[in-house]
């Protein structure tokens, strides 16, 4: 029987352009990597700038092509996002982003206007709602659909939000309504009878505008001792666990943050992740003491019974450890317990050029910059709120060489096994049968749904760049929209790959 291989559905000319672009990058990989070469780790210089705190600003793009510049870009971005919106304000810049539940609203309602704080419909919430208040009922991690359980047997809660350019794009193109954007949601199944806009075919260049940012945050319910420790960024919130009718008001501590940024030179987005430094030890050194003192947040060295790490068990606290420090695939256990001596080895991880020009510079620069940031923040005057952010580390950051799309493995640069131990707890080493690095691009790529009822009919759909974001998996499927079968025609949507008429 002839084996039928699913193929992407786009024009020959478009496919040729993509193939030529990818092959040119792959062919030139050593020269591209050499341009990003850094000194050996013992001599690495990748420093923080005091201006990131004294005169915070949001960088418009990465200034240079070297690895350190990408790490600096993300730490500068982070330190800008955590600044107050105005002198004396308790609201941080990142807390002005619009949460997903303010965009994907119930049928018949319009998205929450920008600058207004939304409330979810499933709970009354506090009577005096202020910006920065966290609502969440999201507890299932991407990729596995399982929650992270802390030592108090509470779930970790998650939030997804976007900045104004991303908000304007989503609402301007009507993408908050399910029948408009369901084709961009790879994890959602179209309800029977739904006629959705075929975005991959109609708008193959649809993309978020430059300067768009998306955040994913991870929050734990703080115990009294954790709150008193003052090592977490904390805020008031209301969370709803599965099976509960309404929310409980709690103190929440930030344990993880993804920052995803689109810049003029990187249409694939730059994908960075920060963790609280006391989250968990390295799997290779679980006897280590927490760097901030106290206890590990998600690891119990005195665990009794079934204490398998990074494994979900109903009703039991998750024992978490970091499998690949700094997102370095050569640190820790390689996928499926393979090594570079295996036959065959994980080819990309074990390639000498990949290790020398991609993996080693990323690890060295992340480590060097982390120490530089800690030193800079520690030197701030007593009482400066920015000192708190020394308790967080940039532990992974990935992008593609020259901003190449699709983000195939051969063009990925940075922390090739980057994962957040509070958000990708169970897939830090990928999924079954994976042979090479597993990072943000393993899911956030341009692979759409399979079209066709049987394997020999299946055609893999090529998504437009807007499909890199998985925010559309949070769509309210009860909404409709786009009754004419096309996206709305307006200046915002047309400027970003939507209909021009």
pLDDT, tens digit (0-9, with 9 covering 90-100), for 108-126: 999 999 999 888 766 666 6
pTM for this structure?
0.89
Instruction: Note the pLDDT of residue 21.
Output: 38
> Which parts of the chain have pLDDT scores under 70?
1-43, 121-128, 450-459
Provide long-range contacts, Cβ within 8 A and 24+ apart, for 23-32. 25/400, 25/401, 25/402, 25/404, 25/410, 25/411, 26/410, 26/411, 29/353, 29/401, 29/410, 29/411, 30/353, 30/357, 32/401, 32/402
DSSP state of 149: B
Token pair, residue 221, equals 């319910």
Q: How far apart are CA 119 and CA 135, in angstroms?
A: 8
Q: How far apart are CA 393 and CA 379, in angstroms?
A: 17
pLDDT tens-place string over residues 60-81: 999 999 999 999 999 999 999 9
Token pair, residue 116, equals 């207004």
pLDDT tens-place string over residues 150-206: 999 999 999 999 999 999 999 999 999 999 999 999 888 887 778 899 999 999 999
Determine whether 402 is exposed, middle or buried from the number of CB atoms within 10 Å of its CB (0-12, 13-18, 19+).
middle
Q: How far apart are CA 320 and CA 422, in angstroms?
A: 8
């694939």: which residue's tokens? Answer: 268
């Amino acid at each position: 029987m002839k084996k039928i291989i699913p193929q992407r559905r786009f024009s020959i000319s478009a496919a040729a352009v993509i193939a030529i672009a990818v092959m040119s990058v792959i062919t030139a990989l050593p020269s591209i990597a050499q341009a990003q070469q850094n000194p050996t780790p013992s001599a690495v210089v990748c420093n923080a700038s005091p201006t990131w705190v004294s005169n915070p600003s949001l960088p418009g793009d990465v200034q240079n092509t070297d690895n350190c510049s990408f790490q600096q870009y993300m730490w500068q971005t982070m330190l800008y996002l955590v600044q107050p919106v105005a002198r004396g304000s308790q609201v941080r810049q990142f807390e002005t982003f619009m949460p997903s539940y303010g965009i994907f609203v119930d049928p018949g309602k319009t998205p929450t206007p920008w600058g207004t704080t939304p409330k979810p419909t499933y709970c009354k919430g506090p009577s005096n709602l202020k910006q920065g208040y966290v609502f969440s009922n999201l507890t299932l991690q991407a990729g596995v659909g399982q929650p992270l359980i802390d030592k108090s047997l509470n779930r970790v809660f998650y939030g997804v939000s976007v900045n104004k350019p991303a908000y304007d794009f989503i609402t301007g193109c009507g993408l908050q309504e399910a029948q408009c954007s369901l084709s961009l949601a790879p994890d959602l199944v179209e309800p029977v009878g739904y006629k959705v806009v075929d975005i991959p075919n109609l708008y193959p260049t649809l993309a978020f505008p430059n300067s768009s940012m998306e955040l994913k945050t991870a929050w734990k319910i703080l115990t009294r001792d954790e709150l008193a420790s003052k090592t977490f960024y904390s805020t008031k919130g209301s969370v709803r666990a599965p099976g509960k009718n309404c929310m409980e008001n709690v103190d929440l501590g930030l344990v993880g943050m993804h920052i995803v940024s689109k810049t003029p030179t990187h249409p694939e987005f730059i994908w960075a992740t920060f963790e609280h430094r006391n989250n968990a030890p390295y799997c290779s050194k679980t006897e280590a003491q927490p760097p901030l003192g106290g206890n590990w947040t998600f690891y119990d060295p005195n665990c009794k019974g079934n204490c398998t790490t990074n494994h979900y068990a109903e009703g039991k606290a998750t024992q978490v450890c970091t499998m690949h420090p700094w997102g370095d695939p050569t640190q820790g256990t390689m996928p499926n317990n393979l090594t570079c001596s295996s036959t065959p080895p994980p080819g990309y991880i074990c390639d000498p050029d990949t290790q020398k020009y991609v993996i080693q510079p990323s690890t060295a620069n992340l480590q060097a910059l982390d120490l530089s940031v800690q030193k800079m923040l520690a030197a701030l005057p007593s009482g400066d709120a920015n000192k708190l952010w020394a308790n967080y580390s940039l532990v992974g950051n990935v992008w593609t060489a020259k901003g190449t799309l699709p983000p195939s493995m051969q063009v990925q640069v940075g922390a090739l096994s980057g994962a957040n131990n509070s958000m990708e707890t169970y897939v830090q080493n990928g999924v079954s049968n994976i042979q090479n690095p597993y990072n943000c691009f393993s899911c956030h790529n341009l692979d759409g749904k399979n079209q066709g009822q049987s394997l020999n009919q299946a055609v893999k759909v090529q998504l437009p760049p807007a499909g890199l974001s998985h925010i559309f998996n949070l769509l309210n499927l009860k909404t409709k929209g786009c009754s004419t079968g096309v996206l709305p025609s307006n200046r915002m949507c047309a400027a970003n790959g939507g209909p021009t008429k």
